[in-house]
Chain A
Amino acid sequence: MNINNIKKQFPIFNNKVHNNDLVYLDSANSSQKPQMVVDRIYDFYTKEFSNVGRSVHYLAVAATNLYENTRTMMQKYINAKDPNEIVFTKGATEAINLVANTFGQKFLREGDEILLTELEHHSNYVPWHYLRKLKGVKINFAEINNDGEITLESIEKSITPKTKMIAITHLSNVTGAILPIKEITSLAHSKNIPILIDGCQGAPHLKLDMQDIDCDFYAISCHKMYGPTGLGVLYAKKKWLDTLPPYQGGGGMIREVKKEGISFGDLPNKYEAGTMATAQVIAFGESIKFLNQIGIENIEKHESELTKYGEEVLRKNNSVKLVGNPKNKGSVLSFTLDGIHAHDIATILDEDGVAIRAGHHCCQILHDKLGLSATARASLGVYNTKDDLDKLNESINKCKKIFDR
């Protein structure tokens, strides 16, 4: 598959936005979907639909096999040891809530501490915040440096004897900083602290190997991985899924239900209560195929070249200030323009078909630290080209023209 021809596989690019070609630079928010993923949803509903894991009829068996097949594909994709270490959730948000809730219930007491970073998305802060009220735990934030990075040292400094969990992002959705998660994991484990990685921005862009990273939990959002909405994946080491209590209760996750009591089912059912996002899971299998067809190494290379090009173009533009300057940077370009608020930028760019995001990107802690109320963010996906970044720059210049009248 030729990476320069990828746009053709995404039907969305056949449409015009305000009579312009779509320049989609909001993939950190959610990625577009390739035809094969869209088709899979349609085909499943038109030819193969049935609920999974419940009935013995032909369609139910076939659907169950397809559903479980995605689990195995995902296991291989991230090199997890066991397919049962893959739990489907409604999103990365639910994956993190699952861990915060069950780990908090079982292992946390008043005075215990959880270590996050200033880069965290609200999804990796708010679920832990509940434990402040519920359990009286304390939340600490490892600080960023001037380049908008989190270093191993910053984490090391923030660990105390009371730290009972470390939860950090893999790749910042604002500064683009890629954290040294393998080193941080090994540091955490040397102090007997489990670690959760919010992999929302890592999984679509970077090669993942759970056994190599060795983290305890890794949360993934499938809609950012060219997959359907309403679906996420929690990778968790089997020892945790065996030890932690169930999260939600309901059908499918039980073994025996009596008036006097209930026993719970085995993995992976234990954490998948109720009817799951069946069509989405099955279609997500196609997203994994899509990523494998291109090859994650090729994606990394393509996106890293584009990011460098984008940085170059924007640095040359005197009115643009890039947010953060991490040495190891993923495909996120956040910026501000002198005298023009991010929302005004986004509205003006939209007129040219250039889709970016403006605001705090669910990272208020970070924006407070940076002293910015809002930033504009262009984020890349596999389908983007240098031409897209040139168009971004042209539209930015148009903002100046409008505002400097």
Chain B
Amino acid sequence: MDLKELYQEIILEHGKNPKNLGKFENFNKDAKGNNPLCGDKVHIYLKTDENKKISDIKFEGEGCAITMASTSIMTELMKEKSETEVKELIDDFLNMIKENSELKSKNINEDDKIKLMSLSGVKKYPMRVKCATLPWHTLISAMSNKPGEVNTEKEE
């Protein structure tokens, strides 16, 4: 186990000062996610334009450094991405976290890859995987405008 790998600087930074924290007026999609065992909560707000591109994304929430960093990094990455790109990125990220594989996506640059890979430290902490994946599952739900709340205990 390596705590330094889990709490990399990039994670601590995003955890302490999350990007895109807040809400904006004219969102057209949103979803809530919660991890009932730990009390982590995120609420993601999206604006998609006529081409189904995410023109704005913000979130409200509270949780551990991993949840906050994962949400912060995710929202940064998703801006200006098309619906297909978003779906591909989510799959790619969840696969990396759950199945030990590398990121495959060609839609992100090396810098962004490094940011996402920084979250892979949770693999060694099975109880913390949910913290990293919560915002991503919530984003899926927001994109599809599914009513109800993402709940990590009903995931599979």
Interface residues of A (CB under 8 A from B): 18, 339-344, 347-348, 351, 358-360, 364, 367, 373-374, 402-403, 405
Contact = CB atoms under 8 A, between A and B. Distances in A.
Interface stretch (B34-42, B79-87, B105-113): B34-42
Contacts of B3: 347-348, 351, 402
Contacts of A405: 9, 12
A400 B7 CA distance: 12
Interface of B: 1, 3-4, 6-7, 9, 12, 16, 37-41, 62-66, 125, 127-128, 131
Contacts of B39: 359-360, 364, 367, 373-374
B64 A344 contact: yes
Contacts of B12: 402-403, 405
Contacts of A344: 7, 64-66
A343 B7 contact: no
Contacts, number: 52
B64 A403 contact: no
B112 to A, nearest CB: 23
B131 A343 contact: yes
14 contacts: A18-B1, A339-B16, A341-B63, A341-B64, A341-B65, A347-B6, A347-B125, A347-B127, A359-B38, A364-B39, A373-B41, A374-B38, A402-B12, A405-B12
A99 B68 CA distance: 42
Identify the 7 closest CB pairs spanning chains A and B, nearest first.
A341-B64, A343-B64, A373-B39, A374-B39, A373-B62, A360-B39, A344-B64
Given A343-B128, A343-B131, A403 B62 contact: no
Nearest to A352: B3
Given A341-B63, A344-B64, A359-B39, 8 more contacts: A341-B65, A347-B127, A373-B40, A373-B41, A374-B39, A402-B4, A402-B12, A405-B9
B37 A359 contact: yes
